[in-house]
Amino acid sequence: MAYTTTTTTSYGSRVKNACGGIFGGIALFLAGTALLWWNEGEAVANAKLLDEVSENAVDMENINNVNSDFNGLLVHATGDAKTKDILRESTFGFQVNAINLKRTVEFYQWVEQKHEEKRDKLGGGEETVTTYTYEKEWVSSPVNSSSFEDPEYKGIYNKPLVTLENKQIYAKNVTFGAYKLPDFIIHAISGSEDAPISINDETLQKLDNQIENVVRGLGNNYKGGADVESNQTNQRSAVCKDVATNDTTESNSTDTSVPVNTKNNYQAKYIHHGDGEIYIGLSPSSSQIGDVRVKFTVVKPHKISIISKVKGNTFQKYIGKNKKEFSRVESGDVSKEEMFAHQESENNLLKWGLRLLGIVMVFIGIKGIFGFIVTLAKVIPFVSNILNFGVNLICGIFAFVWSLFIIAIAWLFYRPLIGIPLLLIIVGAIVFFAIKGKKKGTSVPPVPGT
């Protein structure tokens, strides 16, 4: 059942807040303008860098031998990324031969949803009706129920059975033919899949007993999932500390054989595991508050394509004439032309995304500056609604024109050959519409009878 609260803000407080919002609006307007300017500079710099690396990159077809002829050159190469490292997940006691192992933790929790509805009142005041609802969801971090608004849910049992953090482990020794891959390339290798999880009976029983002790201490709080009447007795931390503090990892290259995921003789009650996931709780098919879901993915040795600068028997990032760095890694056999095309697409996506963000920031900033005008008219809600529409329209037009102007000036600064024509087009459009509007306003109507 939903829980609602109603608050009222006086007309004077609204005007005061709106005046204070002018300073925030100015700051946001300046920040949006700065972002637009910086983004155009970055876009030009990235385009120049991409042109430079496209011209300088050469294919290194044989990676099985270190060829000194390629030393210091920007190369494109394709081959198998291999490692003998064993990544050990000591919390749950399994290991895997992989380039990286990623752990993602989720908690089954009560979550508070908040919805606000604002209503203008005659005389300039404002009434805010806030509705709170509560649902059980899988979330990335534990939720503190003591901050819930509904007294019936405030302090409700919401403690996870274990506390674990997300973690990613990387192999330290990854080869690429005769070359050794540096960390920045190792960390960029993608292509994840579910990790094969194998827990021996001894570790499984130990973990299961730890969780069982925690559950036994919780009593009906865990079995019922959420016992509202026992709020005052369930605030202690239901955490299996031994599990959390034992979370260490290793990487070695002494042995690449790892145990297969065999069926356990010990039948655990609270630890359930399969490829890619360990479920901590009574039943994966019937989740209860406090259950924890731990997902594991790995990037196994596989074929990759790279563009990077050769340095002896390894690689380093290429530094362009504009001091920007470049390197790229993709899974599979990908030509350098395709890799450059993919990079260009990513650059364009980032450029247009930041442009849109900058325009929105400018719009919100301008609206914040002139928002007090609408607030002054809140005494009569109908009038303020009409005025608000007009202010939004004017602010939107101004934000768009101002953003185009800043982009044109930035291109004029960074690339005059493109910036000058763009600026002339914008100025010409403004003059054209101004003259057209003036002619419409001064046109003389025909005299009747002539």
In order along its 450 residues, the chain shows pLDDT tens digits of 689 999 888 878 878 888 888 889 999 999 999 999 999 999 999 999 999 999 999 999 999 999 999 999 999 999 999 999 999 988 898 899 999 999 999 999 999 999 999 888 878 888 899 999 999 999 999 999 999 999 999 999 999 999 999 999 999 999 999 999 999 999 999 999 999 998 888 999 999 999 999 998 888 888 643 333 344 334 334 444 434 434 333 555 545 544 444 577 888 899 999 889 999 999 999 999 999 999 999 999 999 999 999 999 999 999 999 999 999 999 999 999 999 999 999 999 999 999 999 999 999 999 988 887 877 777 777 777 788 888 889 899 999 989 988 988 888 888 777 777 777 777 777 777 677 766 665 555 565 555
Contact 109, 150 (CB under 8 A): no
Do 29 and 62 belong to one domain?
A: no
Residue 259 within a domain: no
Does residue 213 share a domain with residue 152?
yes
Give yes or no: residues 85 and 217 share one domain: yes
In a domain, 292, yes or no: yes
Amino acid symbol at 332:
G
Measured N-to-C along each axis, helices 336-376 and 381-414 cross at an angle, to the nearest 10 degrees, of 140
Residue 151 placed within a domain: yes
Residues 282 and 377 in one domain: no
Q: 334, 369, 391: which is the final residue of a domain?
A: 334
Please check whether residues 141 and 8 belong to one and the same domain. Answer: no
Q: Which residue type occupies 82?
A: K
Q: Are residues 200 and 274 in the same domain?
A: yes
pTM of the complete model: 0.80
Residue 26 sits in the same domain as residue 95: no
| Count of beta carbons in the 10 Å neighbourhood of residue 436 | 10
Domain tally, the chain: 2
Do residues 27 and 62 share a domain? no
Q: Where in the sequence is the domain holding 316, given as residue range(s)? A: 57-224+265-334
Kindly provide the residue ranges of all beta strands, DSSP E only, lying in 188-312, ordered along the sequence: 193-194, 249-252, 271-274, 277-280, 292-299, 302-311
- Residue 116: inside a domain, yes or no? yes
79 in Cβ contact with 315 (< 8 Å): no
In a domain, 79, yes or no: yes
Same domain, 220 and 292: yes
Q: Cβ contacts of residue 172 below 8 Å, gap of 6+?
A: 85, 251
Do both 215 and 320 map to the same domain? yes
Residue 99 and residue 213 in one domain: yes
